[in-house]
């Protein structure tokens, strides 16, 4: 049986207004992987005609958050997901629309077990950004935590 994660895109757009404003579209959503796209918009370009670095990062960070939301939805009543650390590597000038694939970097069961043990678990989400020609133009790792609610 496959779980339905169609609600994740709506939740991201409602709880993080920038997601809808930027025009991010969710193409695939699973508990451990999300694929998002962002159309090429002139008002989001940099001085050399590609998407601004902030736009590239924002797309990847959004996809990473969607992975965390899908993977840990059952934990949200007792913990809040928060970014701890991010790292981005710009590999090539991106041109055209962007696609990002974000993948959970640890088994969700391990993270939940740490939360159950009273810890504040962390988990990485690795993202690969591709441009309109499907070239890898950026790599992002976002480290998240599940902060237990008071």
Output the pLDDT for position 2: 55
Element (H, E) at 13: helix 7-15
23-28 mean pLDDT: 96
Determine the Cα angle at 100 with ends 97 and 122, to 5°. 150
Tell me if 111 sits within 8 A of 28, measured CB to CB: no
Q: Beta 33-38 vs 25-29: how paired, if at all?
A: antiparallel
Check pLDDT > 70 for residue 1: no
pLDDT in tens, 73-106: 999 999 999 999 999 999 999 999 999 999 999 9
Instruction: Please state the pTM of the whole predicted model.
Output: 0.94
Check pLDDT > 70 for residue 6: yes
pLDDT in tens, 28-86: 999 999 999 999 999 889 898 889 999 999 999 999 999 999 999 999 999 999 999 99
Check pLDDT > 80 for residue 3: no
Q: What is the SS3 assignment for 19? A: helix
Structural domains in the chain, CATH included, are: 7-148 (3.10.129.10)
Output the pLDDT for position 68: 97
Output the pLDDT for position 52: 92
């Amino acid at each position: 049986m496959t779980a339905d994660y169609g609600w994740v895109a709506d939740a991201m757009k409602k709880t993080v207004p920038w997601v809808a404003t930027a025009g991010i579209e969710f193409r695939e959503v699973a508990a451990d992987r999300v694929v998002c796209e962002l159309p090429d918009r002139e008002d989001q370009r940099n001085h050399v005609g590609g998407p601004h670095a902030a736009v590239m990062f924002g797309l990847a960070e959004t996809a990473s958050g969607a992975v965390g939301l899908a993977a840990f939805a059952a934990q949200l009543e007792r913990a809040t997901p928060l970014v701890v650390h991010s790292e981005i590597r710009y590999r090539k000038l991106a041109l055209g629309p962007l696609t990002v694939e974000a993948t959970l970097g640890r088994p969700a069961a391990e993270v939940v077990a740490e939360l159950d043990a009273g810890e504040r678990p962390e988990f990485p989400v690795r993202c690969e950004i591709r441009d309109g020609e499907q070239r890898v133009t950026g790599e992002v790792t976002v480290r998240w935590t599940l902060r237990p609610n008071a």
